[in-house]
With several copies, the nearest count.
Chain A
């Protein structure tokens, strides 16, 4: 039986207590997207500023949520700054693939509706660094949506930022 220490690693609690890149950015130039966890009420707002070369110039995070959703967002914000949008997409795939170790379980639990298609592609082999600390979340399937909320919201922002 997985214990709380599998879920709440030190680094997660640190990011939860001291979230990086909290705040807002002016839109435009930044884009703003919102994500909801329909079940627990968590909300994430992503402000993403992408320069003309397709590189993330800045990112800010808003919203409220549990330690998992907030720390995931915080670590994500630190990880994507300065990356190109393609790299951001690859990192997202990599992260979500870590979260989807139990993909078949997930499917059986009706989570198959995440329709961004990332799960279908082979996991990108991008090193996850600190984000590895969230690996324990897969032992608590109910919390996977908490961990992926920021990333789905980021993907939306990336799509919008590169749409035109």
Chain B
């Protein structure tokens, strides 16, 4: 349970040893359609290293028990393991009070709904405004529409530049009188990194809080919520080498303390009578029911793994793969291929949303599948952004710690096949 602060073998001498990393991921040994799998869909969900799978197995095989303070040995061990995971998660993102400020949810979507339904429902009404960006994922849009229907506040949108960055020309007017800025730290479609720190300062100056969708950020860049200055941050375990079934909401303690509970049930109460209930303290207040216990232990192992690689090294690796990909694809396909979003690899994450002339993304992805290249077509749960980009869908390739330039070459070759299949 000690922090792993040494660099792992894989990142030993400053160069990132992808081969060693790949060897830790059992699924990468498999083939698809008779070829070794080229997994380029980590923005949807990452693969899991053996260490994560084994940590959960060990939990189930040795200390599985419900938490909430059973007195017997394995119940205490399970509780301790979950709370150790909470603190580990909090420290990984720079939470000032990890033991109380980290709330376990089922996914980032629940975290974002919690902010809307608890903080939002208690603080928003007619005359108020929430500011979103046109980059947002549906998970950071739909909950606000749902709440708006009840509470009648205004929703304002930060528009985009042609290369899918935030257009801040009108930002002062947009933030004027707003109570919340809810924005993504990195777009899951274009890879755009948003200026979180700057916008947070401006939002706070205007009297608005900031809720960060950190789903695509925490897995890929060293994160310090205190340094960023945000008030809430939401992310999912499954995109950062961890299991499905677990999300995280971090929030500033004073805010969480003042918020009403969200889901009601066991574990989130101090007292219940036939006449009403009193909520528990943090973090229990927001964790009704049996939590995803094994999953928190899996996330703990995932964070140990990432920290052993070093988040700076992870980021550096991804920038270099992304740069290689943008160079390779542009050289090979020229005008025929559009890559949405910022053209500078350092200004974006390893997410390439592509449009190949004459080939619909759905068809493109189908052909790529035949070459064992896994990319995702569709609107990526960002239909408003699709409308701004003027497309119905894109084909998205995304990179993570186990991807390398060979994967990029395989992608380029498969794209070539698709182009000739559809445009002979």
Contact = CB atoms under 8 A, between A and B. Distances in A.
Whether A and B touch directly in their complex, counting CB atoms under 8 A apart, is answered as yes
Given A65-B392, A113-B281, A142-B69, A39 B378 contact: yes
A110 B68 CA distance: 11
B282 A113 contact: yes
A140 B1 CA distance: 19
B76 A41 contact: no
Contact of A113 (B283, B378, B422): B283
15 contacts: A36-B271, A40-B69, A41-B393, A64-B391, A64-B392, A66-B363, A67-B362, A67-B422, A108-B1, A108-B84, A109-B83, A109-B99, A110-B100, A110-B284, A143-B366
B362 A66 contact: yes
Given A40-B362, A108-B84, A110-B100, A142 B71 contact: yes
Contacts of A40: 69, 361-362, 377-379, 393
A122 B107 CA distance: 40
Contact of A140 (B280, B360, B366): B366
Contacts of A41: 378-379, 383, 386, 392-393
B270 interface: yes
A107 B280 CA distance: 17
Residue from A41, A70, A145 with most neighbouring chain B CB atoms (10 Å): A41
Interface string B261-300: 0000000011100000010111110000000000000000
A67 B356 CA distance: 14
Contacts of A70: 360
Interface of A: 1, 3-4, 7-8, 13, 36, 38-43, 64-68, 70, 107-115, 140-143, 145-146
Nearest to A17: B358
Given A65-B392, A113-B283, A143-B366, A38 B270 contact: yes
A92 B310 CA distance: 44
A29 to B, nearest CB: 27
A143 B86 CA distance: 21
Contacts of A145: 69
A13 B359 CA distance: 11
